[in-house]
Structure 1
Amino acid sequence: MCIYCAKHHWSDECLQYRTLSARKQVLKESCFRCLKVGHKTAECKKNKVCVYCGERNSHHRSLCPKRFKSSESSVHLTEELPMTQKGDIPEENVLVSSGEMVLMQTAKTEVKGAKSDRHRVVRMLLDSGSQRSYVSEALARKLNLKQEGKEEINVMTFDSDKSKVVKTKISTMELKLKPGDYMTISVNIVPVISGNIQRKPMKGLSENANHLLKSVDLADDIAEDSELCQIDLLIGNDYYLDIVLSQKLEVQPGLYLLSSKFGWILTGRTQEGVHDRNDVNMLIMTYGTKFNEITAFVSTDDCLTKVPDLEDFWKIESIGINDCPTLSSDENAMSAFKNTLQFSDGRYQVKWPWKDDSQDLPINRQLAMGRLRSTIARMKDKPELMIKYDSVIQDQLTKGIIEKVNARTGKMIHYLPHHAVITPLKTTTKLRVVYDASATFRSCDKSLNESLYRGPVMLHDLCGMLLRFRVHNIAVVADIEKAFFQIGLQPSDRDVTRFLWIKDCDKPVVNKDTIEENSFCRVPFGVISSPFLLGATIESHLDSYECELSEKIRVIYT
Structure 2
Amino acid sequence: MSTFYTSTPQAQAHTEILLKTAVAPVWFEDRSAMSNILLDEGSQKSFISEDLAAQLQLKPCGNSTISLSTFGNANQNVRHMDKAQITLEIETGGFIPMDVLIVPRIAAPLSNVTNVIASKLPYLKGLRLANPVTEDRKFELSLLIGADYYWSIVQDHVIRGDGPTAVKSRLGYLLSGPMHTFTGEQSSTGMFNVLIQHQQEERSLEKFWDLESIGVKADELETTTMKDFNDEYETKCITYQDNRYTAKLPWRNDFNELPTNYNVTLRRTCNMIDRLKKDTNMLKMYGDIIKDQKRRGFIERVTENGNQSNRIHYIPHHAVKKGLIYDSYTYSL
Query: Normalising by structure 2, what TM-score?
Result: 0.57
Cα distance change on mapping 1:279 and 1:322 into 2, 3 Å: farther
Structure-2 residue corresponding to 1:166: 79
State the structure with more CA Rg: 1
Cα distance per residue 1:93-127 (max 9 Å; x no partner): xxxx96101111001111111xx321101210101
Structure-2 residue corresponding to 1:354: none
Aligned residues, how many? 225
Q: Does 1:221 align with 2:132?
A: yes
What are the residue-to-residue correspondences of 1:95-110 with 2, within 5 Å?
99-110=14-25
> Is the partner of 1:129 in helix, strand or coil?
coil
Cα distance change on mapping 1:206 and 1:108 into 2, 3 Å: closer
Q: Please say if residues 238 and 245 of structure 2, whose CA atoms lie closer than 8 Å, have aligned partners that are also in contact.
A: no
Structure-1 residue corresponding to 2:209: 317
In the TM superposition, residue 256 of structure 1 has moved relative to its aligned partner by 1.1
Q: Please give the alpha-carbon distance, in whole angstroms, between the structure 2 residues aligned to 1:457 and 1:436.
A: 17
Q: Please give the alpha-carbon distance, in whole angstroms, between the structure 2 residues aligned to 1:436 and 1:123.
A: 46
Q: Please give the alpha-carbon distance, in whole angstroms, between the structure 2 residues aligned to 1:205 and 1:138.
A: 29
Cα distance per residue 1:101-157 (max 9 Å; x no partner): 1111001111111xx321101210101111110001111111111111111111133
What are the residue-to-residue correspondences of 1:227-266 with 2, within 5 Å?
227-250=137-160, 252-266=161-175
Q: Please give the alpha-carbon distance, in whole angstroms, between the structure 2 residues aligned to 1:160 and 1:454.
A: 23
AA of the residue aligned to 2:150:
Y
Q: Please give the alpha-carbon distance, in whole angstroms, between the structure 2 residues aligned to 1:221 and 1:255.
A: 16
In the TM superposition, residue 279 of structure 1 has moved relative to its aligned partner by 6.5
Cα distance change on mapping 1:456 and 1:247 into 2, 3 Å: same
Aligned mate of 2:30, from 109, 117, 124? 117
Q: Please give the alpha-carbon distance, in whole angstroms, between the structure 1 residues aligned to 2:208 and 2:35.
A: 22
> Is the partner of 1:258 in helix, strand or coil?
strand
In the TM superposition, residue 162 of structure 1 has moved relative to its aligned partner by 2.2
Q: Does 1:199 align with 2:106?
A: no
Structure-2 residue corresponding to 1:67: none
Aligned mate of 2:239, from 438, 460, 474? 438
Q: Please say if residues 204 and 273 of structure 1, whose CA atoms lie closer than 8 Å, have aligned partners that are also in contact.
A: no
Structure-2 residue corresponding to 1:141: 54
Q: Please give the alpha-carbon distance, in whole angstroms, between the structure 1 residues aligned to 2:210 and 2:146.
A: 13
In the TM superposition, residue 159 of structure 1 has moved relative to its aligned partner by 2.5
Q: Please say if residues 166 and 324 of structure 1, whose CA atoms lie closer than 8 Å, have aligned partners that are also in contact.
A: no
In the TM superposition, residue 213 of structure 1 has moved relative to its aligned partner by 3.0
* Cα RMSD, aligned residues only: 3.9
Q: Please give the alpha-carbon distance, in whole angstroms, between the structure 1 residues aligned to 2:118 and 2:23.
A: 23
Structure-2 residue corresponding to 1:544: none
Q: Please give the alpha-carbon distance, in whole angstroms, between the structure 2 residues aligned to 1:273 and 1:311.
A: 21
Q: Flag the structure with more relative contact order, 1 or 2, with Cα contacts below 8 A and sequence separation at least 6.
A: 2
Q: Does 1:184 align with 2:97?
A: yes
Q: Please give the alpha-carbon distance, in whole angstroms, between the structure 1 residues aligned to 2:18 and 2:72.
A: 25
In the TM superposition, residue 439 of structure 1 has moved relative to its aligned partner by 2.0
AA of the residue aligned to 1:157:
T
Structure-2 residue corresponding to 1:522: none
What are the residue-to-residue correspondences of 1:148-547 with 2, within 5 Å?
148-201=61-114, 209-210=121-122, 212-223=123-134, 225=135, 227-250=137-160, 252-275=161-184, 280-283=196-199, 314-318=206-210, 320-323=213-216, 438-442=239-243, 445-447=244-246, 450-451=247-248, 456=253
Q: Please give the alpha-carbon distance, in whole angstroms, between the structure 2 residues aligned to 1:321 and 1:159.
A: 17
More strand by share: 2
Q: Please say if residues 173 and 186 of structure 1, whose CA atoms lie closer than 8 Å, have aligned partners that are also in contact.
A: yes
Q: Please give the alpha-carbon distance, in whole angstroms, between the structure 2 residues aligned to 1:240 and 1:160.
A: 25
Structure-2 residue corresponding to 1:499: none
Cα distance per residue 1:313-339 (max 9 Å; x no partner): 6544246334259xxxxxxxxxxxxxx
Q: Please give the alpha-carbon distance, in whole angstroms, between the structure 2 residues aligned to 1:111 and 1:271.
A: 33
> Is the partner of 2:183 in helix, strand or coil?
coil
Q: Please give the alpha-carbon distance, in whole angstroms, between the structure 1 residues aligned to 2:252 and 2:71.
A: 30
Q: Please give the alpha-carbon distance, in whole angstroms, between the structure 2 residues aligned to 1:121 and 1:215.
A: 23
Q: Which runs of 4+ in 1 moved over 3 A?
A: 201-207, 275-281, 310-316, 451-458
Q: Please give the alpha-carbon distance, in whole angstroms, between the structure 1 residues aligned to 2:88 and 2:170.
A: 10
In the TM superposition, residue 446 of structure 1 has moved relative to its aligned partner by 4.3
Q: Please say if residues 106 and 142 of structure 2, whose CA atoms lie closer than 8 Å, have aligned partners that are also in contact.
A: yes
Q: Please give the alpha-carbon distance, in whole angstroms, between the structure 2 residues aligned to 1:270 and 1:120.
A: 30
Q: Please say if residues 40 and 144 of structure 2, whose CA atoms lie closer than 8 Å, have aligned partners that are also in contact.
A: yes
> Is the partner of 2:44 in helix, strand or coil?
coil
In the TM superposition, residue 441 of structure 1 has moved relative to its aligned partner by 4.3
In the TM superposition, residue 262 of structure 1 has moved relative to its aligned partner by 0.3
Structure-1 residue corresponding to 2:232: none
Cα distance change on mapping 1:162 and 1:150 into 2, 3 Å: same
Q: Please give the alpha-carbon distance, in whole angstroms, between the structure 2 residues aligned to 1:190 and 1:146.
A: 14
Cα distance per residue 1:64-114 (max 9 Å; x no partner): xxxxxxxxxxxxxxxxx9xx9xx9xxxxxxxxx96101111001111111x
In the TM superposition, residue 437 of structure 1 has moved relative to its aligned partner by 7.8
In the TM superposition, residue 237 of structure 1 has moved relative to its aligned partner by 0.8
Q: Please give the alpha-carbon distance, in whole angstroms, between the structure 2 residues aligned to 1:313 and 1:124.
A: 17
Q: Please give the alpha-carbon distance, in whole angstroms, between the structure 1 residues aligned to 2:147 and 2:237.
A: 55
In the TM superposition, residue 255 of structure 1 has moved relative to its aligned partner by 1.5
